[in-house]
Homo-oligomer: A and B are copies of this chain.
């Protein structure tokens, strides 16, 4: 059979633009960083399709400038936390995750982790104050006549606002801590035997001790989250609502969960009808490069180019580290485009050029690109999958090590450790990924899987957002297990009942047997009692 007979990616959009001139009114929950980068293309598509998109923006926002002209309508709100404080919190988290963690023991990491979670939630609730505790804001939102709330729930509170405004709610997320929200509130099944917990750095193929660890991590993290995150959130939500309430129960009303992963990136697992896997939601075909970059790429000849970035969060590294990296890059035959705004390394080779900013997607889609050196953020990895580019991972924090474990398991990446890497190690890793053909073949296979689906990720996300608006929710996709307790879900009450019956029957059977036996024996020989009586008579 001839390959590649799929529906062109743009057909769905082109055809339906004309069908949706009278669009819906969408309210978008505030978010930051790579989460905003990820959501933006979906919002753009929604606007293209005739919808009105209004984005909530806190006065402390680090990424969105509401005074700049934009296709979105912004709904700014004041918060009691400043942009500087937000940046300080972010800096502290990064400092802990990238640098401090290496010098800590497990117990210190655990305590610091709890502290970080608490600080993040406090910050989240300060932002939330600006919306749900502001009468002016709530009045404006009520008068906005929105059809739907679209939320990346990295900042808590969207489920509360959706309930207060009686709006259908669509989530867009990569995963929650310990997958707790998806499992406990969304009811997605996650057997610990083959669904590794988020950030465990394990695959679906676990040996016995990995399964033990996975099971233990699910249990431990659930307990911690239950007694920190949910406890505080429940208290806040109950205070705002004026009655005791549960944040997780509110989250169980999410109509559609748009999970930013797919079977090109993730391992196949059980899921539910209202979970849609839209990994690569932000990917798009490559556009032409700026002239100087194109010229530089073309100058690489057959050797091609290597694209290198450690993401938008890392702007500087130590001079020693940058020299070490530059020295490795200088030893490969490819030309290298390195996104780096720190001081120029002394060892920078003639083949390497530094850039403050790079059109990453366009570079990864360039025919000269041979490899991508990446910190392993989901957005970058998905762009590499989209364009079929093998990767060298230098994971830093968060989900990055885990993302690269997935890519290694699928044979499209190798990794080097940020703290211990050497010039030779990095150089050899790049050469390996470029010269060992299996990496490129696997990258092309993943790219094929990514593209070969009925709708592109973005079109699917847009479809389900519009579906939820058209149908004022998606309650027919909600499983009944939301209304069961955990022991009912696992049929433990049924098992206890059946076990009781079996034990009762067994006891009854034993008693009956004993009784019958006694009666039978009674006829054959004298019992103790009759023996005694006989003795007395003697």
* Residues in A lying within 8 Å of B, measured CB to CB: 1-8, 11-12, 15-16, 19-20, 22-25, 147, 188-189, 191-194, 204-205, 208, 211-212, 215-216, 263-264, 267-274, 448-449, 452, 454-455, 459-460, 463, 466-467, 469-471, 476-481, 483-484, 488-491, 493-495, 497-498
Would A20 and B5 count as touching, CB distance under 8 A? yes
Task: Identify A15's interface contact among B11, B20, B274, B476, CB under 8 A.
Answer: B11
Give me the 3 closest cross-chain CB pairs, A-B, nearest first. Answer: A1-B24, A204-B480, A2-B22
Q: Find chain B residues with CB under 8 A from A25 CB.
A: 1
- With A1-B22, A191-B491 already in contact, the answer to whether A448 and B471 are too (CB < 8 A) is yes
Q: Please, how many angstroms separate the alpha-carbon atoms of A493 and B3 in the complex?
A: 44
Would A193 and B490 count as touching, CB distance under 8 A? yes
Beyond A7-B16, A452-B471, 13 additional contacts (C-beta under 8 Å) are: A1-B25, A5-B16, A8-B15, A189-B191, A191-B490, A193-B488, A194-B479, A194-B480, A194-B484, A267-B479, A268-B478, A270-B271, A449-B471
Q: Find chain B residues with CB under 8 A from A216 CB.
A: 498
Would A494 and B194 count as touching, CB distance under 8 A? no
Consensus secondary structure, chain A interface:
loop
Q: Please, how many angstroms separate the alpha-carbon atoms of A514 and B477 in the complex?
A: 57
Q: Find chain B residues with CB under 8 A from A211 CB.
A: 488, 491, 493-494
Would B5 and A470 count as touching, CB distance under 8 A? yes
Q: Find chain B residues with CB under 8 A from A491 CB.
A: 191-193, 211, 215
Would A494 and B4 count as touching, CB distance under 8 A? no
Smallest beta-carbon distance A30→chain B, Å: 23
Q: Please, how many angstroms separate the alpha-carbon atoms of A1 and B479 in the complex?
A: 26
Q: Please, how many angstroms separate the alpha-carbon atoms of A480 and B268 in the complex?
A: 8
Q: Please, how many angstroms separate the alpha-carbon atoms of A231 and B175 in the complex?
A: 43
Smallest beta-carbon distance A46→chain B, Å: 12
Would A452 and B467 count as touching, CB distance under 8 A? yes
A5, A20, A147: most-surrounded residue (chain B CB, <10 A) = A5
Would B193 and A470 count as touching, CB distance under 8 A? no
